[in-house]
Amino acid sequence: MTKGKGEYSKDDEKELLKLARESIKEQFNNKKPSIPKDEKFQEKRGVFVTLTKSGNLRGCIGFPYPILPINGAIYNSAKSAAFEDSRFPQLSEEELNKIKIEISLLTLPEECKSDDIEIGKDGLICNYSGYSGLLLPQVATEYKMNKTEFLECLCNKAGLPKDAWKQNGKGFKLYKFQAQIFKE
């Protein structure tokens, strides 16, 4: 992503990561987190919060489209990643200090063709026959996927046959987006 509106400093990143962690802690200590009120955190953006434990995925939930201000999207996504990701049991208080938090701030998804995808830069969303899936940009690089593998993984995540992406232009809709990513 290019610098400019929508880019955040290291201090901003720390503040948003703190918000995510305090949002999860609220479940255990009943203390509302301090939500940053700065105007820059009022911008509506797509947001995902990813939790890992010992390097393994422990939860990942978010909003692909800019329906909430960043501060609200992080608050909701962090709690959902910890307690509502159906792939994992709810996070326990004992696990809280063992998890690492990653936040992805997304650009607005734009429709594209498979030839338009840049591995390591683009995340993907697909919609086809009532099914949808999303993969963040970092997934392809973390798992050393080429473009075809990334598209197949996206289809798999959506519950579709792995080659459904070849129907692009014939009902299969493909969207790409970029993300500013920060981690603890």
CA 103 to CA 86: how far, in whole Å? Answer: 19
- 3 three-state secondary structure: coil
pLDDT above 90 covers what percent of the chain? 92
CB 13 within 8 A of CB 36: no
pLDDT at 2 > cutoff 50: no
**Which sign, positive or negative, has the C-alpha torsion 29, 32, 179, 130?**
positive
In the chain, the domains with their CATH numbers are 10-106 (3.30.700.20), 110-178 (3.30.1490.150)
pLDDT at 4 > cutoff 70: no
Mean pLDDT of the chain: 94
- pLDDT for 6 equals 58
Q: CB-based contacts of 81: which residues, under 8 Å, 6+ apart?
A: 49, 50, 51, 59, 60, 61, 62
Q: CB-based contacts of 153: which residues, under 8 Å, 6+ apart?
A: 135, 139, 143, 145
Q: Which of 139-143, 153-157, 165-169, 175-179 has the lowest mean pLDDT?
A: 165-169
Q: What is the mean pLDDT of residues 111-137?
A: 96
Q: What is the DSSP string of 76-134?
A: HHHHHHHHT-TTSPPPPGGGGGGEEEEEEEEPPPEE--GGG--TTT-EEEEEETTEEEE
Residue pLDDT, tens place only, 54-93: 999 999 999 999 999 999 999 999 999 999 999 999 999 9
